[in-house]
Structure 1
Amino acid sequence: MNEEFIGALEELEREKGISKEIIFDALESALVSSYRKNFGTSQNVEIDIDRDTGQIDVFALKEIVGDNEVENTNLQMPVSLAKEKDIKLNVGDVYSQKINPANFGRIAAQTAKQVVIQRIRDAERDVIFEDFTDRENEIITGQVQRTAYGNVYFDLGKTEAVLPPSEQIKGEDYHQGNRFKLLLLEVKQTTKGPQIVLSRSHPNLIKRLFELEVPEIADGIVEIFSIAREAGSRTKISVFSKDEEVDALGACVGYKRARIKAIVDELYEEKVDIIIYEKDIDAFIANALSPSKVEKVFINEKGKSALVIVPDYQLSLAIGKEGQNARLAAKLTNWKIDIKSNSQFDEYLENENISEEEFKTKFGYLSNENLDVEDKEVENNDNLIDESVE
C-alpha cells in the first residue's frame, strides 16, 4: 500500500461518502483473516495500517505466562524470555512482535481490493435504502424488467423493485418493457441489500394519482376524505372543497374530462366514482351509493348503521353487481348499510303493522326524507360515473 491508495480512499470519501476510517478498520480486520487463511497458523496477529502512508505492519501477539506454564509457543511466551526483550513486561501482559511474512504484500493488495469493492457496494446500498425510504407512499414510474414465481420486477434506474402477487391487479399486462406508475409501498433492509416493494392495488395509489392530476388537491383547496377500492374493478373516492368558489367535482373531472381520463387510463380502465363528501352522514351515504337514486336514509348513530330506501327500479343498481356498489359505499363511509326498495320497506311496515315513525322509534333510527339527488354525469363514459348530492 502507498500514498496513491490513501489518495484513492480520500476520493471515495468525497464522492460516495464512505468514511476512510471505516475502510481502514474493515481492511485491518480482513487482513487478519487473510493472514490466518494463507499462513495456516494459530498465531494471534494484529494488523496496523498507517493512515498517512499506507504502510502495513504485522504483529504477532503472545501472552506472558510463567516459565513453567507455556502450553503453546505460538500464543504464549515465558516471562523470563519476555524480560530479556522488555524488563517492564510481567505475567498477564501481551508481547507484540513485528513480523514480516513472505508474500504478504500481494495478499494485502488482493484483500484491499475486495474490501474496497464491498464497502462501495454497501455504501451504494445504503444510499438506495435512504433515498427510497424517503419516498415511501409516493408514486414511482418503473419499467417491467422480468417476472419470476409470480413476482414482477421493475427497473427503477438506480435499482430493481418487486411487485408481489398480492399487490398486483388481476388481468394487467406485465410484459417486459411495459411502463407503469406504482405506489412505493415499503423499503426493506435485507442481507442482499434494500428490497423495494411496489403496489398497483393499494388505495393510496388512487390518492397519489389524483394529487398528480388535480392541482386543487395538490394545493390543498380540494381534499380527499376517503377512498374505497376494489383494484382493477372499481373505486369510490370522496372529496370536498375548502373554497366555496371551487367545485370539487369539477376540479377532479377537469375540462372535457381530461383529468379523470388521465387517471382512469393509468388504471387500465378501472371505474372511478367521484363522490362529494358531506358532514351530514345521511347525505354522505346517499352520495356514496351513486349512481343509484336514494329516497330515504334512516341512520342509527349508536350502531353506525343505516337503512337506505331506493326506488324499486333502482334496487339492483344501488346494490351493484355481486353487491359491489353497496360494499364500496360502506367502506367509503365506514358505516354499515342495508338497502331496501320502496315496496320492500312498505311490505315490512304492513306485515309488522307499524307506522314509519313507530319503526324509527323501535330501531333507534333517524331519517332524512328530503334528499335532493341530482346526477352530474361526465358525458358518456363507460369507465367513469360522477354523481353528487347537493
Structure 2
Amino acid sequence: MTRRSSTKSNANEFYNEIENIAKEKNISTEIVLECFKRALIIAYRSYIYKSEGTTKEDKRKDKTNDVNLTIARNKNQLEILIEKKVVKKPEFLLKEISLKDAKKIKEDVQLDDTILVPVDYSNFPSTVVRSAIDSFTNEIQNYVGNKLYEEYKKLEGSIVIGKIHRIVKGTAYVYLDESKIEAYLPPEEKSPLDDIKVNESKKFLIKLVKSDSVADDNDDKKQMKEKKKAVPTIILSRNDPKFVQRLIESESEEVARKEVEVVKIVREPGYKTKVAVSSKIPGKDPVGTVLGKNSSRISNVRLELGGEVIEVVQYSPNEIEYIQNALNVSKFGYGKIIKVKDTPEEKRCIFVLDKDSDKDKIVGKSGNNVRLASRLTGWKIDVKTRNEFENSEIYKLISKDIDELFAKQTVTEEKEELEEIGEDASITVLQDQLGNEIIKKLQNAGIDLVSTLIDWHESHRLQTINSLSPSELLTINRFIEQNVEIEDDEEEEEFENDYAECPNCHKKIDPDASECPYCGIKFEE
C-alpha cells in the first residue's frame, strides 16, 4: 500500500504560467521547467535541513547537481516527486531517506532501493518560498544570459547595426537586434570624426563579448547572486582597424571571397588609414579591386568613417618595394632605401629622398604617413634628405661603397640594368619589367613597339586604354620615367606646351583627363 502527502496543485495554471514565461523570454518550455526544478531543489534542500536542525556544513556537502526531481500531472493535479535512496541512516537528506520513513510511502521497499518521495511544498515557510522564487528568477536570467553570450560571441569581429538610445559621460549605449540586448561604445572606441547622436542608427564592430559569470549548476547564495550578472557585456568599436576591414569586405565581393586579401591595416582614427592588399588570382589588380570603379567602393568606406583618408597599397614580399608602396612614393616623392638593421628583433631603414622638397609630403602631417608606413611594414623608417644622410653618423658607419649602392638601387630591388632599347624594339622586351598581363593589354590596344609605348606615354594616351587599371598605368608611367632610355632624334612637337599640370604630384597630364595617371587623384568636372 502506498500513501502520499498533500503535494498537489492546479496543473493547468502551472503549465500556463510556464508557457507565458517561455514566450516572454523567447526560450522553450522545457528550459523553463528545468530552471524551475533546479530552483525547487535548492529550496527543498534549505527546508529539510532547517527542519532537521542540521549544520550549514552538512547542507553544503549535499550538492544539488545530481538530484532527480520529477514534475508529474495526475489529471489536473500537479505532483512534485524527488528520487531518494533508502539507507539505514541518511547522511545526505536531499538524496537519501531512512528505511522507516520510506516504508511510510511504500511498504515493500528495501534497503538500497530508490523511491520517489513527494515534496510537500505546502509546508514551506515564506522565507523558503521567497528563496525559491529568487532562485528561479536567477536560473532564467542565467540561461537567457548565457544563450545571448553564445549568440553574440560568434559575432565577435563582425559589423552590426545598432540604435543609440542614451549617452552617459561619453559612453554611447546601443540597442542591438531590436532592443533585445544593450551594448556600449566607450569613448576610447570612437573615432574623432564620429558624430554620435541619440536615436541615430550606425554601424559598429562587435569588438569584445564577455560574460561576468557563465552558468554552472551551483547553489551557494553567493554563486546564485553572481548568476544575475550572466547577461553578456558587449563592447562596440568604430576605431578598430578590423572595422575598416569589415567595411571593405562589405563593399568588395572579391575581398569577402578571399580572392583579394587584406594583408594588414594600420590606422590613426579620424586622420588616416593604410591598407595593404594582395591578390590570390594572377593578373588581378588588388588595389583597383578595393578602390572600385572611379574609387566608388573606397568612397563608401570613407563616408562611413566620416571622410577619413584611406590609402590602399599593394603588398609585396619584396621588402624594399613594400616599404616604398607603404610610403606611397608615387604620390609623395621617390627615394632610396638604406637598410640599417635587419634582425628578427629590430628592422630599421633610412629613406633618402631624391628631392629635398618632398620631405614634408613623405613624412606626412604630424609624421602620420611615415609612422603608419612603419607600422604597416614592421620597419622603423627614418626619412632624410641626401645632405642629412651624408652628414649623419650612420653614413660614416656604412660601407664605403655607399655611392655604388645609390647608383644601383632603383624603385624596386627586382629592377635589372637595361641595355639601350632601340625605337623598333618589340614591346615584349619589357615583359619581365611590366608583366605578361600589361603587355597583352598594350598589344590589344595596338602598341607593339617600345617607341609606340613612349609616344603614347608622352601624349598621355595611355589612360584611354580602358582595360588598364590605375595601378597598371602607374606601373607603366613609373617604369618609363625611371628605367627606359630611348634615343630620340625627332624634333620637338610644335605644340610642346599642350598639357596640364596635376595640382597634387605636379606632373604633366592630358588637359582633358579626369584622373591623374601618376598619383590617381580625381578632378572635379
- Percent identity between the two aligned chains: 25
Please say if residues 318 and 326 of structure 1, whose CA atoms lie closer than 8 Å, have aligned partners that are also in contact: yes
Structure holding more strand per residue: 1
| 2:520 paired with 1:377 | yes
How big is the shift at 1:52?
Answer: 3.9
1:16 corresponds to which of 18, 27, 32: 27
Cα distance in 2 for partners of 1:102, 1:289 equals: 79
Deviations for 1:225-270, whole angstroms, at most 9, x for unmatched residues?
1111111111111112223442222211112221111000101111
- After alignment, is 331-340 or 290-299 more displaced? 290-299
Deviations for 1:127-151, whole angstroms, at most 9, x for unmatched residues?
2111110011111111211122332
Matches within 5 A, 1:216-231: 216-231=254-269
Deviations for 1:273-329, whole angstroms, at most 9, x for unmatched residues?
111112211111111112322221123563422211122110111111221111100
Cα distance in 2 for partners of 1:354, 1:24 equals: 78
Which secondary structure state, in structure 2, belongs to the residue aligned with residue 161 of structure 1? strand
Cα distance in 1 for partners of 2:191, 2:166 equals: 17
Cα distance in 1 for partners of 2:398, 2:41 equals: 87
TM-score by length of 1: 0.75
* Structure 1 residues 295 and 21: alpha-carbon distance in aligned structure 2, compared to 1, 3 A threshold: same
TM-score by length of 2: 0.57
Cα distance in 1 for partners of 2:407, 2:158 equals: 41
Question: Could you say which residue in structure 2 is the equivalent of 1:384?
Answer: none
Larger RCO (CA within 8 A; separation ≥ 6): 1
* Structure 1 residues 100 and 314: alpha-carbon distance in aligned structure 2, compared to 1, 3 A threshold: closer
Which secondary structure state, in structure 1, belongs to the residue aligned with residue 72 of structure 2? coil
Which secondary structure state, in structure 1, belongs to the residue aligned with residue 162 of structure 2? strand
Unpaired stretches in structure 2, ≥5 consecutive residues: 1-8, 60-66, 90-98, 214-228, 413-477, 480-516
Cα distance in 2 for partners of 1:207, 1:36 equals: 59
Question: Could you say which residue in structure 1 is the equivalent of 2:72?
Answer: 51
Larger radius of gyration: 2
* Structure 1 residues 324 and 340: alpha-carbon distance in aligned structure 2, compared to 1, 3 A threshold: same
Please say if residues 41 and 69 of structure 2, whose CA atoms lie closer than 8 Å, have aligned partners that are also in contact: no
* Structure 1 residues 340 and 8: alpha-carbon distance in aligned structure 2, compared to 1, 3 A threshold: same
Question: Could you say which residue in structure 2 is the equivalent of 1:309?
Answer: 352
* Structure 1 residues 97 and 214: alpha-carbon distance in aligned structure 2, compared to 1, 3 A threshold: closer
Matches within 5 A, 1:1-390: 1-4=9-12, 5-6=14-15, 9=18, 12=22, 16-17=27-28, 18-19=30-31, 22-32=34-44, 43=53, 50-53=71-74, 54-56=78-80, 117-156=137-176, 157=178, 158-191=180-213, 192=229, 193-290=231-328, 291-300=331-340, 302-303=342-343, 304-310=347-353, 311-347=355-391, 352=396, 357-358=401-402, 368-371=409-412, 372=478, 375-380=518-523
Backbone CA RMSD of aligned residues: 4.5
How big is the shift at 1:333?
Answer: 0.5
How big is the shift at 1:369?
Answer: 2.5
* Structure 1 residues 181 and 356: alpha-carbon distance in aligned structure 2, compared to 1, 3 A threshold: farther
How big is the shift at 1:6?
Answer: 4.5
Question: Could you say which residue in structure 2 is the equivalent of 1:386?
Answer: none
* Structure 1 residues 134 and 230: alpha-carbon distance in aligned structure 2, compared to 1, 3 A threshold: same
Please say if residues 23 and 119 of structure 1, whose CA atoms lie closer than 8 Å, have aligned partners that are also in contact: yes
Count of equivalent residues: 361
Please say if residues 137 and 184 of structure 1, whose CA atoms lie closer than 8 Å, have aligned partners that are also in contact: yes
How big is the shift at 1:172?
Answer: 2.3
* Structure 1 residues 360 and 134: alpha-carbon distance in aligned structure 2, compared to 1, 3 A threshold: farther
* Structure 1 residues 348 and 137: alpha-carbon distance in aligned structure 2, compared to 1, 3 A threshold: same
Cα distance in 2 for partners of 1:172, 1:118 equals: 38
Cα distance in 2 for partners of 1:105, 1:127 equals: 33
Unpaired stretches in structure 1, ≥5 consecutive residues: 66-78, 91-95, 382-390
